[in-house]
A and B are shown apart, each in its own frame.
Chain A
């Protein structure tokens, strides 16, 4: 006898699960359907098949500029977050020191700050210092936001690694830097990639903080938010939405799958 679920219980929950998954993906599927719909307004009944909106997407320079800006911001901020995260994670996972709990809490605290407050605080900082708002100010904000995510991924992985491997390297006379590069780094490589991807997708999609500190060059979410107010641009935006949503779904699932496989192989 199953102590947690009866057969009916299991059936009911399975149905609920299916219903919820349907609910979660239905709007995305609807966007997919309407991206091929020939009417400008997304309404039923459907009017006809067209690739026009995707064609517009491919030739829209402003949109490409925004996508590019977001890619740059995401790449730079993720690199920064991973670098800082690696430093912090190494300290947390490998060193004992006083106030570790408090410092860990501080490093993770950007997770709980409401983005409206953080956005405002950065706006005020740059205004007070007289720093011009730009893509760089967005990068700065995104490094803060994504740093906790990198730490949350890297620390467990670092703790997982068998220290005996490092000790062995020391015993063989390897200096700490070499040990790190040749022993530790390869073992945590999948986690580094994973944390980079999490930071990247978070930054790429981030609107709230960016809306406060962006300069004259729009990021993709800012462009998107503005375009949501132009009725005739809606079909094109829907086409973009479908592409970005599907791409990110694929990336996320593939990355996670790859990480599991890679880590299982790098037993250590």
Chain B
């Protein structure tokens, strides 16, 4: 069988890698340049300075905001994974014949519009929104006392983000459970373990990579989230991503601080991803 000389791999990869190089890697480098004043929006001459980075660690305001966003993302990811696991378990292990159809039904909302689903909650949560007016109408609350913490609050951001991500998260956990070797569970049963014990000692440990993957799939995008907080967050739901957006567009432009904040987020995310892939590789049996 004639072996073709493999000249074409570089040609195949050249274009995609080139595109990513120019429109993905170079821009990140430019962000770095802005963060150290090599490039600047302020006219005049500039020299390399780490003052922006220095300020980030010296004045803890922005780091505290980052931590607040991390906390919120943690809650969202935790809640979402906690709900998604039993759902995926049901689909994968209950033996229901239509599991792929049901999986699709579960995932489909995620593939529709993000903004429109946030809009739906804006309609539902306001003082005159669906929940409150329903409570007035049914007499459970007087119209003078709506539950106002529903909208423009930290709670609203967490609720809406959880709603957005829940469908998506079921998938990696489902895959993990699908790949579970049923015979292991049977062996556990043979050895006298109850279903709970089998779950805790066999299923859960073996599907941990799926859980961790699912958790990170939500956590990483959510830390930098700014769209939902800007629509339903009010003052208490203000997140790290909003700060970055304000520094670049909507507020008084301070591109150096914005670049520092953006790069900091990227470094944290990259570190998390790297740690996770190492963890994942170790777990691969």
Contacts and interface: CB of A to CB of B under 8 A. Distances in A.
A182 interface: no
Interface residues of A, number: 87
B130 A30 contact: yes
Interface stretch (A49-57, A89-97, A183-191): A89-97
B161 interface: no
A121 B90 contact: no
A176 interface: yes
B237 interface: no
A14 B16 CA distance: 44
A82 to B, nearest CB: 11
A118 B263 CA distance: 10
Interface in B187-207: 188-189, 195, 198-199, 203
A114 to B, nearest CB: 3
Given A30-B124, A112-B273, A125-B27, A208 B13 contact: no
A169 B13 CA distance: 24
A125 B23 contact: yes
Contact of A24 (B16, B106, B248): B106
Contact of B31 (A43, A44, A117, A143): A117
Contacts of A170: 1-2
Contacts, number: 256
Interface in B227-285: 227, 231, 241, 244-245, 248-249, 255, 258-259, 262-263, 265-266, 269-270, 273, 277
B129 A113 contact: no
A1 interface: yes
B263 to A, nearest CB: 8
Interface in B139-183: 163, 166-167, 182
B89 interface: yes
Nearest to B160: A27
Contact of A237 (B119, B166, B265): B119
A117 B93 contact: no
Contact of A17 (B9, B90, B124): B90
Nearest to B273: A112
Contacts of B124: 27, 30
Interface string A111-130: 01111111011111101100
Nearest to B102: A17
Interface SS of chain B: helix, strand, loop or mixed? helix
B27 A110 contact: no
B112 A42 contact: no
B113 interface: yes
A128 B20 contact: no
A141 B19 CA distance: 10
Given A43-B130, A120-B31, A208-B227, A91 B9 contact: yes
Interface in A1-34: 1-6, 9-10, 13-14, 16-17, 20-21, 23-25, 27-28, 30-31, 34
Given A88-B13, A121-B31, A114 B241 contact: yes
Given A121-B31, A144-B24, A3 B188 contact: yes
Nearest to B249: A212
B269 A113 contact: yes
A256 interface: yes
Contact of A128 (B4, B16, B30, B116): B30
Interface string B59-85: 000000000000000000000000100
A44 to B, nearest CB: 4
Contact of A31 (B95, B116, B136, B273): B116
B34 interface: yes
A249 B224 contact: no
A193 interface: no
B56 interface: no
A201 B244 contact: no
Nearest to A122: B27
A117 B224 contact: yes
B106 A21 contact: yes
Interface in B13-45: 13, 15-17, 19-20, 23-24, 26-28, 30-31, 34, 39, 41
8 contacts: A4-B94, A10-B94, A20-B83, A110-B24, A116-B241, A117-B265, A120-B259, A144-B24
